[in-house]
Structure formats: C-alpha cells, structure tokens
Amino acid sequence: MPMAGADLVELLQVCVRGAMAAQRYIILELLQLDSSDAPRRDVRIADFEPQSLRMLRDRLRHVVTVGVKGQLAHKEGTAANDLVTTADIVTQTVLERALADAFPDMPFTLVGEEDANTSAAIASQVDDCMRRFLVADFPIPLQADLNRHACTESRLICAETYEELRSRIGVFLDPIDGTNCFVDGHWTAPLTLVGITLDGLPVAGVVNRLFYCTIDDVTCGSGAECGSLSYVWNDASTGPFLLHEGRRVHVGARHAA
C-alpha cells in the first residue's frame, strides 16, 4: 500500500493563495496604495495616468532594496543588470512558507529563482504578509468549479515514500518575472510565475500580473474576478481548466487517438 500522497490541485490552490497574498502586500503595504491614489476604483493600477505611476514608482523605490544578481548577455549598459529586490525575496518566501505550512511533509521538490537566504527584516515582512493577507482555507477564484472539474485519479499522486514523490513532483517559483520593469515602473510586465510538474511534464501553473488589478481587487479580498490572475490545471482525464485574467476560458477536452 502506498504510504505517501499529494493532491496536485490543492498544491495549485496554495500557490494561487500565496501569489495573491504577496501581491496584496506589495500593493497595500509597500506601495501604501489606497483609494485616494486611484483615479477610479475600477481602473487597473498598470493603467493609471503617467503622473500617478511615477508617484507610485518613486514610493516603491524608497521602500525596496534593489540589488544586481548578474548580467543579461542579450542586453547592454544598465539594462543588462539582472535585478533582484526585497519584493522578489518576500514573494518567494511567502510562497515557500505557504507551501511548507500546507504540506509539512514537502511531497515535492521546490525550486526558487532567488537565493533562499533571508534577513531578519525580510522574515519580519514575510510574517506580516502571511498574518494579514494569507488565509489558508480561503477559496481561490472558481475553486468550486476547479474541484468539480478535476478528476481524482489525476489530482491525487501516491507513492511508497515522500522521497519518491519528491522525485516526481516539482514546483518552480519565479516570484517577480520582469524585476527590471518592476523597478523602472513599466508595470504591464511584472509577473509572479509558478509551475507544477509531474514526471517532468507541466500539469499546472499560475501567472499573476502584479499590477493588472484594481484597488477593489486587492482590498475587497475575494479576488472573484481579479483581472491579474491566471491559472491552469491540465487534467489528463477531463482536459484543461483555465482561468485567464480572472475569467474562465472553456477548452475542449483532449480525446484519445
């Protein structure tokens, strides 16, 4: 009898919650954005007027530390600097902590883009984010529909040992893809990315466009149609379940040849 198991759909849901919690922390705590900063509550942050975006960019630069972790071979000058910020580290650590809390046996191999070492100051920010913005059992957008769609045989992976599961299941984190754009205020680009693989093949993923949300999206808490969020569960039996920028996209089931 297999003694170890992991629910891949639950794993996906934890990743969504972690990504959205970090997004709220960046916007509401680091940027200190509130309704007085928004021209309209239904306007996405990335679509604010240039003057408002400059103000928020300057505010961000005062509260995050920016470092250079390497050089990008395909670019020149300062654009070649591969940047990392405290927001990257906080986001990745929030995701790592959320996963460890939900899966204490760690039935997967976790690979993060950034250095896992965190300072006491970063740890304090992570604690604050998780306390204020992460609710372990809070439903993600369309969670009930996702659970109905997902086939038990596809989502539940069992093995003799957790070590065997870790050799089969991978979770890959890029906390802020487009950090240079994040720092420079080009806010249509920055994304939080999570990929989940089984036996080397992608089965689920999360894309959260950090600033493709309205002030209501991040303050009301439900995220029911948060325009920044996309995720996919690729079910071997029932076909893909796809949420794209807050709305479900119906994709035909895959048929066997």
Going by the annotation, the residues of the binding site for Mg(2+) are 113, 174, 176-177
Secondary structure of residue 100 in the 3-state scheme = helix
Q: What distance lies between CA 132 and its chain's CA centroid?
A: 17
Secondary structure of residue 7 in the 3-state scheme = strand
Annotated binding site, which residues?
Answer: 113, 174, 176-177
Q: From its phi and psi, is residue 246 left (phi > 0), alpha (psi between -120 and 50) or beta?
A: left
End-to-end CA distance of the chain: 32
Distance CA 111, CA 144 (A): 29
Q: Which residue from 131, 107, 257, 63 is spatially nearest to 196, judged by alpha carbons? A: 107
CA distances from 72 to 67, 76, 77, 188 (A): 14, 8, 10, 21
Distance CA 82, CA 69 (A): 6
Hey, what are 215's tokens? 């002030």
Q: From its phi and psi, is residue 101 left (phi > 0), alpha (psi between -120 and 50) or beta?
A: alpha
Secondary structure of residue 68 in the 3-state scheme = strand
